[in-house]
């Protein structure tokens, strides 16, 4: 096996089990997961994380379902989940 920090390989260039403290990701071993991926601690693997879109514009100020101007109300904005995580154990941000 020619993969750095690898304990077991499928082939010379594809690791199937990394050394302790390293995460497996696409046949390689990493100290931390690459951007866009989340660490699945129990398996020491990097899985696709949750991806969310851009925030919407702020809504109008409202209180008790009535427009309230700028005082004593609530403004909201949202963002959509673009890609759900590979495992339910990795939550999406609010």
- pLDDT given for residue 28 in this prediction: 93
When the candidates are 3.60.110.10, 2.10.220.10, 3.30.365.10, 3.40.50.300, the CATH number that belongs to 1-49 is 2.10.220.10
Structure tokens at 88: 């339910």
pLDDT for 45-85, tens place per residue? Answer: 888 877 788 899 988 888 887 877 666 788 889 888 887 77
Q: Per-domain residue ranges for the chain?
A: 1-49, 53-85
Average pLDDT over residues 10-16: 90
How far apart, in Å, are the Cα atoms of 41 and each of 21, 44, 57, 88? 10, 5, 36, 13
pLDDT for 20-41, tens place per residue? Answer: 999 999 999 999 988 878 888 8
- pLDDT given for residue 70 in this prediction: 60
């Amino acid at each position: 096996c020619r993969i750095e920090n690898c304990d077991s390989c499928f082939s010379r260039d594809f690791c199937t089990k990394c050394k302790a403290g390293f995460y497996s990701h696409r046949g390689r071993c990493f100290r931390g997961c690459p951007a866009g991926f989340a660490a699945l601690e129990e398996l020491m693997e990097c899985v696709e994380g949750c991806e969310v879109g851009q925030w919407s514009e702020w809504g109008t100020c409202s209180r008790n379902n009535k427009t309230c101007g700028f005082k004593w109300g609530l403004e909201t904005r949202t963002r959509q989940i673009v890609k759900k995580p590979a495992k339910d154990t990795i939550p999406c941000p609010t």
